[in-house]
Structure 1
Amino acid sequence: MDDMQTELAAFKDPQLAHGLIDAIRELAPKSGATLMEVCGTHTVSIARNGIRNLLPDGVKLSSGPGCPVCVTSNHDIDKVIALTRVPGAIIATFGDMTRVPGSTSSLLAEQAAGRDVRIVYSPLDALRLAQENPTSQVIFVGVGFETTTPLTAMAIKRAKAMGLHNFTVYGAHKNMPGALEAIVADPQLHIDALILPGHVSTIIGAEPYKFLAQKYGIPGVITGFEPNDILQGIAMIVRQLHEGRSDIEIAYARGVMSEGNTVALAAIDEVFETCTATWRGLGPIDGSGYKLRDEFAEFDAMQRFQPEVEPTVEHAGCRCGDVLRAHMRPDECPLFRKVCTPENPIGPCMVSSEGSCAAYYRYY
């Protein structure tokens, strides 16, 4: 236990942090550089630990579309709300999703109106709900990137093996590489390098990011979430920029292997195939979503119940889309702090614990 505590303490060791900050300042390009942290957990850690203020002038951090709740489109939210009105339905979802506003309602509002909406912590919790409520239709809202998709796949496989006919999934899972290509190819942005997500990369590894370096000349480093993890990732990035290199490197070797988690990837591939998905702020991106393969189509909630979905309406004034594609900082949105707050969120970037607006509200 003492050895483990010593090892964990290194991730917040001030002396190591000072050394990394010195290395960043020494190697940082004189002309400046913009680095995008892709993951919402990175955004929160950077804000909480004041990392932006530790960097040299000209080295800027920009938040990307790495919050799964935030990038879920209004139309997806509207479909989930329509499913609450299926007779006998129990909607099982993660906590943040209940407060995200759709066009005219939210899951929290539907719950207040008498619909059965329950918070779960994994798809297996939803599976258990279906077993315990055989006369109800349990619909799990599958949201997240490659980190949560294998768990949904395994729940669906288990439901099929059990012959469980009152369990279905609304799938809004997405994969990260396609969104990153949309970001780096955006002519309105100038991103010099990427701080790549640790959690997602534990599943997919480093290989799927290689195109960023090879096709676009964008360096990237996969790193963890403690202060010194992030500083180490930034130091590795600025070294690449200093040396004129474009590689995908791993600074999170304790969690990420180059090939990823082959068991989890196999589970995804068995149950899902890729499809076009619509991202809030980025629009439709080919191959960036997942849909159930034909042999598992019976677990597709929309296909089974076919509810009537209201026309999608975007919220006037909300700039979450611009924030997610790094066209503006959260505090540049005219609604930020004035109308949009964690107690009264107008958009999902203020709802989610990983949202950049919520991080800015709390820490800046």
Structure 2
Amino acid sequence: MKTASPAERFSSPLWRDKALAASALAEMTGLAAQAAALKGGSVNFMEVCGTHTMAIAASGMRRLFPKELRMLSGPGCPVCVTSQGDIDRVLALAAVPGVIITTFGDMLKVKGSKGLDLHAMRERGSDVRVVYSPLDAVALAQAEPGRQVVFIGVGFETTAPVIGGAVARAKKLGLKNFSSTAFFKLVPPALELLLSDPENRIHGFMLPGHVSAIIGLEPYKFVAEKYKVPCVVTGFEPLDILTGINMLLRQVVSGKPSVEDEYFRVVHAAGNPVAQKLLSEVFTVTAASWRAIGTVKATGLGFSRVYAGFDAIKRFKIPYEDAPEPKGCRCGAILLGKALPPDCPLFGKACTPSSAVGPCMVSSEGACAAWFKYGG
């Protein structure tokens, strides 16, 4: 096959080529059998990113994978990993008189420990507005100088720079009525948490393309060097995913774990220095509260000293209280790769997208939402 031009590398038809996909699947069958023989009968890879989970489900490729290969969903859905206690703090902010809550749409139906969500809070009189950008929230604060505007900031290294940029903009404008939550998680420490679990059975990671475009490859090196687990940064087209899986399988078969970059057309080894600089200015590494894991040191981002005045939690003095997971919900186990959505007794019965119990069914990147919509 001729070498693809730069323009062709970004062409969707190229990355959905059926002949190339068939060739990749044929190679996968042989590699998976070899890898499974080395790993006791099956090989378990985790797609860390929720967008990968949805892409795999939407393409139907899971049904084509060899029987020896098991793909697990990981803690890469921002809404899903936000702890129940932090969801309760979001709802407490919505209950503050005069506050305007601004948020992305996927936070609207995540239930707190008392069964309420932001949609219900809006029905009860809270001012909750969906925005498409944190800068929309900054503009709203400018337009409503007599109201406090709070943006609900959740996510990973991908969304943090965008929200950090909005906060920096608000500071430059001298806005005193804008603030944000900082419920941000870091992907590399999440991988460390998974690998340090004695019950861990993960043989390789399909690493998130979006996050990696920000942080680069270096932060993942410990996975291969310390834990001897293969890693491949992978794109989101069907052929990206098939190629990424085969790269992982080759590492398993060769016994030479490393960090490879399948998504080279977007992700560079050094990441995005501009975004990294913004992150270091607006935020600082801090403890974070994870669903199903608890509060863990140095796994999240909070506001730096210079930007501490924009922390909505501190401004409104909202305390953190541990809260139990919804009864019967196995979202936590799914995020840790210890269960698949059909393993949950609520899946497709008490828990559906229109009446979700756990966040894995609410978010557009949630594993349960993907399995419900497209099947396993």
- Note whether the superposition's TM-score is higher than 0.5: yes
What are structure 1's unaligned runs of at least 5 residues?
none
Please report how far the alpha carbon of residue 89 of structure 1 lies from its aligned counterpart in structure 2 after TM superposition: 0.3
Alpha-carbon deviations, 1:239-297, whole Å to 9, x = none? 11111110000000111001100000100000110111011122222211111111111
Equivalent in the alignment of 2:52: 42
Stretches of structure 2 lacking an aligned partner (at least 5 in a row): 1-6
Of 257, 268, 279, which aligns to 2:268? 257
Find the counterpart in structure 2 of residue 178 from structure 1: 189
Q: Write out per-residue CA displacement over residues 189-222 of structure 1, whole angstroms, 9 at most, x where no aligned residue.
A: 2110010001111101111111000000000000
State whether structure 2 residue 174 is matched by structure 1 residue 146.
no
Letter in 2 for 1:26: G
By how many angstroms is 1:183 displaced? Answer: 1.0
Q: Give the superposition deviation at 1:226.
A: 0.7
| Aligned with residue 76 of structure 1, among 86, 91, 114 | 86
One-letter amino acid matched to 1:248: V
Q: Secondary structure at the match of 1:242?
A: helix
- Is 2:215–2:270's contact at 8 Å kept on the other side of the alignment? yes
Query: What are the within-5 Å matches in structure 2 for residues 221-300 of structure 1?
Result: 221-300=232-311
CA distance in 2, matches of 1:152, 1:324: 24
Amino acid corresponding to residue 133 of structure 1 in structure 2: E
**1:24 aligned to 22, 25, 28, which one?**
28
Amino acid at match of 1:69: V
Structure 1 window deviating more from structure 2 (84-93 vs 266-275): it is 84-93
Q: Is the 8 A contact 2:212 2:267 kept in 1?
A: yes
Q: Which residue in the other structure is 1:333 paired with? A: 344
Moved more, 101-110 or 279-288: 279-288
Distance across 2 between alignment mates of 1:310 and 1:187: 28
SS of equivalent to 2:108? helix
Counterpart of 1:180, as a letter, is L
- The residue identity in structure 2 corresponding to 1:95 is G
Preserved CA contact (<8 Å) 1:68 1:143: yes
Residue 178 of structure 1 contacts residue 285 of structure 1 at CA under 8 Å; is this kept in 2?
no
Is 1:94 the counterpart of 2:104 in the alignment?
Answer: yes
Report if the CA contact (8 A) 1:179-1:285 is conserved. no
Partner of 1:194: 205
Instruction: Give me the TM-score of the superposition, normalised by structure 2.
Output: 0.93
Give the Cα separation in 2 of the matches to 1:242 and 1:17: 21
Residue in 2 that maps onto 1:345: 356
Q: Deviations over 1:92-142 (max 9, x none)?
A: 011010100011121111001010000111211110110111111000010
Matched to 2:305, the amino acid is: D
TM-score for the superposition, normalised by structure 1: 0.96
Is the 8 Å Cα contact of residues 123 and 140 (structure 1) preserved in structure 2?
A: yes
Tell me, what secondary structure is at the counterpart of 2:342? helix
Residues 70 and 349 in structure 1, CA contact (< 8 A), matched pair in contact too = yes
Confirm or deny: 8 A CA contact 1:82 1:309 kept in the other structure.
no
Deviation at 1:27, TM superposition (A): 2.1
Q: For 1:27, give the aligned amino acid.
A: L
Output one character per residue of 1:40-84: Cα deviation in whole Å (capped at 9) or x when no partner.
010011111122222222111111111000000111011111111
State the Cα distance separating 1:6 from its structure 2 match: 8.7
Counterpart for residue 370 of structure 2: 359
Q: 1:109 aligns with which of 108, 114, 120?
A: 120
Q: 2:142 aligns with which of 131, 140, 162?
A: 131
| Matched residue count | 363
Q: 1:180 Cα shift?
A: 0.8
Match of 1:13?
Answer: 17
Cα deviations by residue, 1:310-361 (Å, 9 ceiling, x for unpaired) = 7734321111111111111111101111100001000000000100000111
Amino acid corresponding to residue 31 of structure 2 in structure 1 = L
Residue 65 of structure 2: aligned partner? 55
**How far apart are residue 307 of structure 1 and its match?**
3.9
Q: CA deviation at 1:166?
A: 0.4
| 1:219 alignment partner AA | P
Check whether the contact 2:10–2:265 (CA below 8 A) recurs between aligned residues: no
Give the 3 Å change call, closer, same or farther, for CA 164–228 of structure 1 in structure 2. Answer: same
AA matched with 2:154: V
232-241 or 283-292, larger mean C-alpha shift: 283-292
Moved more, 112-121 or 21-30: 21-30
Flag the 1:132–1:181 CA change in 2: closer, same or farther, 3 A.
same
The aligned counterpart of 1:219 is 230
